[in-house]
Structure 1
Amino acid sequence: MTTHDRVRQQLHALEALLREHQHWRMDEPEAHLFTSTQPFCMDTMEPVEWLQWVLIPRMHALLDSAQPLPTAFAVAPYYEMALTADHPQREVLLEALQALDALFAQDKS
């Protein structure tokens, strides 16, 4: 299995996790929320919204067009700070994001 395949598999797992815990939304955020200049759109979106509306679709677009994957990639550290300690799915989300990050670390070795 290629790195691209493993990344796609992990993105599907992340989406399934968001759906399972009712973090998946049907209504797309308003267009202006995507124009943030802050990392992770932290000033316009909730952390789990960014996963659904930015990270997952952009990564799938890279994979679908057979583009090179990012070489400097780590989202879990942001989520360790952004998700409060009492967030009900904090640990399971962090585990999924760390697994995604690990795929990029493996690709460098």
Structure 2
Amino acid sequence: MQRLHEAADIVLGIEQAMRDADFWHDHVPTPAAMASRTPFCADTLAFSEWLQFVFLPRIRALIEDNGALPTASAIAPLAEEALEERLGKSELVAHLQRFDALIGGNPRV
């Protein structure tokens, strides 16, 4: 249960960092774009769109349902590469590193 609480805190941090760095999107992508079978919907969505409209809702649903979190995560390195440089990007990447560490069994990053 503690792990789910930590994940919830991290998810809130990711959302706030996305808003602060202006990675937050006002328009929801089409259902077809979000249903892509390509990892991270890379063929249909920007990485920040995937974070906002696919990743965050899925993790929130797992938390709310007391579900099992993923067993592995390496989102932070992808974010570092995929997101454009702007003020606040490093804060967002730091939250994603915390998520990766929590999933990997090392929550104190």
Structure 2 length normalisation: TM-score? 0.86
Q: Give the gaps of 5 or more residues in structure 2.
A: none
Residue in 1 aligned with 2:99? 100
Residue 99 of structure 1 aligns with an amino acid whose one-letter code is R
Q: Give the gaps of 5 or more residues in structure 1.
A: none
Task: Please show how residues 16-35 of structure 1 align to structure 2 within 5 Å.
Answer: 16-35=16-35
Residues 107 and 91 of structure 1: CA distance in aligned 2, closer, same or farther (over 3 Å)? closer
Judge which range, 17-26 or 63-72, deviates more. 17-26
* Cα distance in 1, alignment partners of residues 35 and 4 from structure 2: 28
* Cα distance in 2, alignment partners of residues 81 and 65 from structure 1: 32
**Native 8 Å contact 1:18 1:24 kept in 2:** yes
* Cα distance in 1, alignment partners of residues 79 and 20 from structure 2: 19
CA RMSD of aligned residues (A): 1.9
* Cα distance in 1, alignment partners of residues 72 and 101 from structure 2: 11
Residue in 2 aligned with 1:67? 67
**Native 8 Å contact 2:72 2:100 kept in 1:** no
Aligned length: 106
* Cα distance in 2, alignment partners of residues 81 and 107 from structure 1: 23
Structure 1 length normalisation: TM-score? 0.86
Q: Quick one: percent identity of the two aligned structures? A: 34
